[in-house]
Chain A
Amino acid sequence: QVQLVQSGAEVKKPGASVKVSCKVSGYTLTELSMHWVRQAPGKGLEWMGGFDPEDGETIYAQKFQGRVTMTEDTSTDTAYMELSSLRSEDTAVYYCARDGVAPGIYFDSWGQGTLVTVSS
């Protein structure tokens, strides 16, 4: 049973960067394909990027390209998502999510979410 535990809430000023972590247990990170999804207050889900098994590389939603970086530390089984040049519209709960084993990309396990607040 995989468990994803994320880092705590963050408050950042506009223009700053934030780095959110997602610690994996029950599996090693090398066995998983990890993605990041965010949800602004009262809004729907928005995919940011993750590992695409068809390409064998990390892909990003066009909206975030150039501003987001997703990395992994396999020695600690921790995935990271860093978002730069923050603006107020980036205020959201950020989730890490695991791609399941079926063909396609679906998220069968989720972290608890990390609230990132961007405010001056």
Chain B
Amino acid sequence: EIVLTQSPGTLSLSPGERATLSCRASQSVSSNYLAWYQQKGGQAPRLLIYGASSRATGIPDRFSGSGSGTDFTLTISRLEPEDFAVYYCQQYHHYDTSPLTFGGGTKVEIK
């Protein structure tokens, strides 16, 4: 199975700052089937980015995704108070024993 490693584990930033989150895969992610989710305490995750760089419906343009192969990045251009949360990456690789895996998450906290 493809293992996704997210870094850093915790990111301490102030509102208005830029956040850069990394997701590294143990092998190439097919067709860039890589997604990013945001999760706030006690809530279900929310899809932000799919296909590595496409924003989901209703997601503000301060969120952007980039990368290919094994290295992917989620960037939040200017942090709003509601952006402090945990972020997960997720990949899908059809021809794998466990075709879908999540990263361990990055917590973005207020500095």
Contacts and interface: CB of A to CB of B under 8 A. Distances in A.
Interface of A: 35, 37, 44-47, 50, 52, 54-55, 59, 61-63, 95, 97, 100, 102-108, 110-113
Interface of B: 1, 31, 33, 35, 37, 39, 44-47, 50-51, 54, 56-57, 88, 90, 92, 94, 97-105
Output the residue of B47, B54, B88 with the most chain A CB within 10 A. B47
Contact of A45 (B1, B33, B45, B54): B45
Contacts, number: 76
B90 A106 contact: yes
A27 B47 CA distance: 19
Given A45-B88, A100-B50, A105 B44 contact: no
B94 A52 contact: yes
Contacts of A59: 99
Contacts of A108: 47, 50, 56-57
Output the residue of B1, B44, B54 with the most chain A CB within 10 A. B44
Contacts of A50: 100
Q: Which 5 residue pairs of A and B lie closest in terms of their CB atoms, listed nearest first?
A: A104-B33, A110-B44, A106-B50, A105-B92, A45-B102
B88 A111 contact: no
A102 B101 contact: no
Contacts of A104: 31, 33, 35, 50-51, 92
Contacts of B104: 44
B101 A47 contact: yes
A102 B50 contact: yes
Contacts of A106: 33, 35, 47, 50, 56, 90, 92
A62 B102 contact: no
Contacts of A113: 44
Contacts of B31: 103-104
